[in-house]
């Protein structure tokens, strides 16, 4: 067993650091400038540090697959607060285009997406199609001359729609076909009349999601990805690219470090909360879960690198982290006590986390859907009867 | 990064698991568990494990051992936990480790080859009173030792006891002035005695004081590994039962309420595999992190194992509450793992101290 990365990788890490220092933060210190961000991303692609799995022909850096290098790059970019070249929607659409797109579609869309010139939002969920996504009803009809799609309906929970230039969507194109067989995957330029983006205000007060209304919106016929009526298969590749175990673990670690800091800062009965036996013990119990997640993730990553089966842990990180985040935010609540209700106070961050930890149980497949996946794929239980009937 | 078992380690677990499949099926465990009178261990199985080299795993090669590490021993402990194997490995392996870590050249040369082969059976006597598991709580002292040690595994059968003392560790041989009283321990797969020393001749381990913390940490890792093995088996057993048992005209595995219970058990168990691996690896390779990792692993896994065994009974319904089913073997083993070496709460507070909180 070896938990370090080894000396060859240490040298690689140093190269990455040197690159980042030379390019970020930008000379004028303006880290918010999108031009600077674009320049950084392009330089990083040239060096082979970003979009490593994507062919050069489509604007990627086409590097041999190496999970450890990818992780080192990710760690160093995060540490330096440098642009990660990762726009959530873009990361979802590119693998789909690579797998299902025509040569023309790949040429046209992938390179500008990697550079950040096109920003994608996902248009899957609808008010009546949440976990049961395949029941979606927004219609796309081919115009009589076959040149374009005419789209009517509504999408919801669209992240960062106000920043997006395009959406990749699932629409119902074959209303007479069975549920899953009537769906197509279509790209839409949302800078056109007929699109209305209405932000949804979350319980935290933030506006991260929107509703998007389609009123006779048009998309050229060649914006269809994959075959007509086969959108459900096309989208499976998108969903499977959504999760990375190591990112999950790193996020939890940083939240826990904040929690320990909080427990040292806040006093209970004249001494730091961390000295209080109940707080201390719960903190250690949370750390036990966190260490479990951390080292099982190392184990899973090592198995992946060496082409061994990961086993049943594979389906578990998301819901495990969701539960952990809930437990962390509840202990923070116990530590801050009265400050827990003051959204204008100094503990706002923890109040927000108390709520945001709930969004984790919903976004990207609810915890109950995750449990269904664990039941079927990891425990080998028979497929849920109700889902079968619907499919 | 290479956090995975080597081919040799996988082969080691395979050979132990194969042996257990042959000689330690549930029927056999029930037979040992249900023996009349005081709890016993399975001497044939122990003999077979000795022949396979299990007690020799961490004994240095110079003394007839295999010279392997804690990861190797822990993955074997997982396999024994999975099978609720009624063998005295816990006390025996720890005694051998104590002598390896703290013994003089003479002490090692005299005892280790005999312990590695299993010719001599040994154990460790650590706890004083209700929860005095850690060296700070130890008061017994030699050379003429008087006092009581509690929850000593297999003391009555042991030829040699490594005793935790006020200034380290000491060896007490069979025949010295002590008596063993077997308690009615719930876990009849690993018999437990209260040992009363009454002026027993005790020989200090030369470097015993330096070995005590390493010994406690090793014990914590082994309990964690045994717990993982047991919990993992309970999840598998419950899943299999749910697929087979039919009610309302279908396997109960189809009912979402039960499915989510099974998922909760798996979610509590599977990710903790990495935790016990890490604790074992830290013991071998990262001494500054070993105590913290060991206490975290013991606390988390002992808690998890006990809860999973409760869930297992629920998942089985009435049959799971009977003496004839395997469920209670696991729950009772989990009860000992919970209490032995100190409760999860004590280990979490130890981990908090070690983290500098």
- Kindly report, residue by residue over B18-44, the tens digit of the pLDDT: 999 999 999 999 999 999 999 899 999
**Chain A hits for B270, Cβ within 8 Å:** 296, 311-313, 316, 378
B160: tokens are 């040699």
| Residue A388 pLDDT > 70 | no
**Chain B hits for A4, Cβ within 8 Å:** 1
pLDDT at A66: 80
The residue-averaged pLDDT of B328-352 equals 98
Residue of B nearest to A310 (CA): B4
Pick from A326, A300, A335, A302: nearest CA to A314: A300
The residue-averaged pLDDT of B209-226 equals 97
Return mean pLDDT, chain B. Answer: 97
ipTM greater than cut 0.90: yes
Pick from A28, A29, A24, A53: nearest CA to A41: A24
Of B2, B266, B297, the CB nearest to A312: B266
Q: How far is A50 from chain B (nearest CA, A)?
A: 21
Tell me whether residues B285 and A375 touch, CB distance under 8 A.
no
Return mean pLDDT, chain A. Answer: 90
- Kindly report, residue by residue over B56-73, the tens digit of the pLDDT: 999 999 999 999 999 999
pLDDT at A281: 97
Most A CBs within 10 Å, among B263, B311, B349, to test the A interface: B263
- Kindly report, residue by residue over B182-217, the tens digit of the pLDDT: 999 999 999 999 999 999 999 999 999 999 999 999
> Between A and B, how many CB-CB pairs are < 8 A?
160
| Residue A109 pLDDT > 80 | yes
Of B1, B71, B266, the CB nearest to A5: B1
Of B1, B239, B253, the CB nearest to A301: B1
Cα distance between residue A63 and residue A55, in whole Å: 8
- Kindly report, residue by residue over A130-143, the tens digit of the pLDDT: 989 999 999 999 99
Task: Tell me, rounded to whole angstroms, the distance of Cα B85 from its chain centroid.
Answer: 10
* pLDDT interval class at A89 (50, 70, 90): confident
Three-state SS annotation for chain B = CECCCCHHHHHHHHHHHHHHHHHCCHHHHHHHHCCCCCCCCCHHHHHHHHHHCHHHCCCCHHHCCCCCCHHHHHHHHHHHHHCCCCCCHHHHHHHHHHHHHHCCHHHHHHHHHHHHHCCCCEEEECEECCCECCHHHCCCCCCEEEEEEEEEECCCCCCEEEEEECCEEEEEECCCCEEEEECCCCCCCCCEEEEEEEEEECEECCCHHHHHHHHHHHHHHHHHHHHHHHHHHHHHHHHHHHHHCEECCEEHHHCHHHHHHHHHHHHHHCCHHHHHHHHHHHHHHCHHHHHHHHHHHHHHHHHHHHHHHHHHHHHHHHHHHCCCCCHHHHHHHHHHHHHCCCCHHHHHHHHHHHCCC
Q: Give the torsion sign (CA, A222, A223, A225, A231).
A: negative
| Residue B290 pLDDT > 60 | yes
List the alpha helices (DSSP H) in A312-361.
Answer: 317-336, 348-359
The residue-averaged pLDDT of B214-229 equals 98
pLDDT at B117: 98
pLDDT at A387: 61
pLDDT at A385: 66
The residue-averaged pLDDT of B117-126 equals 98
Please count the other Cβ atoms lying within 10 Å of the Cβ belonging to residue B83.
Answer: 26
- Kindly report, residue by residue over B123-148, the tens digit of the pLDDT: 999 999 999 999 999 999 989 999 99
State yes or no: cis peptide before A159, omega within 30 of 0. no
Cα distance between residue A374 and residue A316, in whole Å: 7
Eight-class DSSP state of A345: S
Specify whether A323 is catalytic. no
* pLDDT over 90 percentage in chain A: 69
Where is average pLDDT lowest: A54-63, B103-112, B309-318?
A54-63
pLDDT at A238: 59
- Kindly report, residue by residue over A251-304, the tens digit of the pLDDT: 788 899 999 999 999 999 999 999 999 999 999 999 999 999 999 988 988 888
- Kindly report, residue by residue over A188-241, the tens digit of the pLDDT: 999 999 999 999 999 988 888 999 999 999 999 999 999 999 999 998 765 554
pLDDT at A243: 45
pLDDT at B177: 98
**Chain B hits for A312, Cβ within 8 Å:** 266, 270
Pick from A133, A151, A135: nearest CA to A143: A151
Please count the other Cβ atoms lying within 10 Å of the Cβ belonging to residue A342.
Answer: 12
Residue of B nearest to A374 (CA): B263
**Prediction pTM value:** 0.92
């Amino acid at each position: 067993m070896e938990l370090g990365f080894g000396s060859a990788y240490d040298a690689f890490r140093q190269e990455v650091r040197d690159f980042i220092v030379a390019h970020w933060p930008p000379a004028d210190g303006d880290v918010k400038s999108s031009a600077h961000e674009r320049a950084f991303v392009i330089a990083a692609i040239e060096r082979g540090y970003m979009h490593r799995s994507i062919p050069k022909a489509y604007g990627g850096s086409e590097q041999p697959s190496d999970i450890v290098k990818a992780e080192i790059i990710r760690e160093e970019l995060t540490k330096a607060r440098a642009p990660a070249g990762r726009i959530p929607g873009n990361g979802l659409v590119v693998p789909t285009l690579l797998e299902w797109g025509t040569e023309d579609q790949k040429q046209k869309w992938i390179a500008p997406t990697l550079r950040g010139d096109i920003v994608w939002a996902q248009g899957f969920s609808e008010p009546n199609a949440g976990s049961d996504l395949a029941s979606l009803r927004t219609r796309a009809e081919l115009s009589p001359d076959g040149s374009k799609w005419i789209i009517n309906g509504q999408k919801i929970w669209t992240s960062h729609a106000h920043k997006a230039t395009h959406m990749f969507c699932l629409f119902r194109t074959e209303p007479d076909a069975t549920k899953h067989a009537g769906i197509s995957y279509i790209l839409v330029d949302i800078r056109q009349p007929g699109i209305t983006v209405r932000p949804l205000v979350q319980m935290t007060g933030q506006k991260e999601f929107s509703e998007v209304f389609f009123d006779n919106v048009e998309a050229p016929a060649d914006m269809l990805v994959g075959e007509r009526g086969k959108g459900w298969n096309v989208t499976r590749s998108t969903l499977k690219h959504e999760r990375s175990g190591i990112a999950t673990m790193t996020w939890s670690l940083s939240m826990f470090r904040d929690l320990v800091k909080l427990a040292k800062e806040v006093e209970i009965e004249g001494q730091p909360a961390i000295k209080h036996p109940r707080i201390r013990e719960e903190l250690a119990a949370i750390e036990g879960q966190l260490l479990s997640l951390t080292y099982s993730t190392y184990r899973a990553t090592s198995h992946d690198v060496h082409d061994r089966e990961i086993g049943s842990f594979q389906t578990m990180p998301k819901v495990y982290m969701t539960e952990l985040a809930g437990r962390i935010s509840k202990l923070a609540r116990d530590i801050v006590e009265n400050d827990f209700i003051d959204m204008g106070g100094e503990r706002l961050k923890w109040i927000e986390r108390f709520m945001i930890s709930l969004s984790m149980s919903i976004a990207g497949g609810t915890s109950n859907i995750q449990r269904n996946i664990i039941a079927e794929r990891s425990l080998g239980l028979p497929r849920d009867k109700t889902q079968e009937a619907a499919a | 990064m290479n956090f995975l078992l080597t081919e040799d380690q996988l082969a080691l677990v395979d050979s132990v698991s194969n042996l257990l499949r042959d000689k330690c099926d549930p029927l056999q465990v029930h037979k040992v568990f249900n023996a009349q009178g005081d709890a016993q261990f399975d001497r044939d199985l122990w003999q077979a494990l000795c022949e396979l080299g299990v007690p020799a795993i961490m004994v240095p090669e110079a003394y007839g051992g295999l010279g392997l590490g804690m990861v190797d021993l822990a993955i074997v402990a997982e396999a024994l936990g999975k099978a609720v194997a009624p063998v005295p490995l816990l006390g025996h392996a720890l005694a051998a480790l104590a002598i390896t870590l703290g013994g003089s050249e003479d002490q090692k040369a005299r005892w280790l080859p005999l312990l590695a082969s299993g010719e001599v059976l040994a154990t460790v006597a650590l706890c004083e009173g209700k929860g005095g598991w850690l060296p700070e709580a130890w008061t017994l002292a030699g050379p003429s030792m008087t006092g009581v040690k509690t929850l000593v595994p297999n003391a009555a059968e042991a030829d040699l006891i490594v005793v935790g003392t006020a200034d380290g560790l000491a060896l007490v041989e069979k025949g010295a002035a002590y008596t063993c009283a077997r308690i009615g321990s719930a876990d009849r797969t690993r018999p437990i005695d209260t040992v009363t020393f009454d002026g027993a001749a005790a020989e200090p381990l030369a470097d015993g004081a330096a070995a005590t913390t390493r010994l406690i940490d090793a014990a914590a890792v082994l309990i964690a590994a045994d717990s993982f093995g047991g919990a993992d088996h309970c999840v598998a057993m419950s899943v299999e039962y749910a697929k087979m048992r039919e009610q309302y005209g279908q396997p109960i595995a189809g009912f979402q309420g039960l499915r989510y219970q099974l998922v909760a058990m798996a979610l509590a168990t599977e990710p903790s595999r990495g935790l016990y691996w890490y604790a074992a690896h830290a013991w071998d390779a990262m001494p500054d992190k070993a105590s913290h990792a060991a206490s975290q692993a013991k606390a988390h896994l002992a808690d998890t194992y006990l809860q999973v065994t409760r869930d297992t009974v629920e998942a089985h319904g009435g049959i799971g509450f009977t003496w004839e089913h395997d469920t209670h073997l696991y729950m009772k083993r989990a009860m000992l793992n919970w209490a032995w070496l100190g409760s999860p709460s004590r280990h979490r507070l130890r981990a908090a101290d070690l983290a500098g909180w």
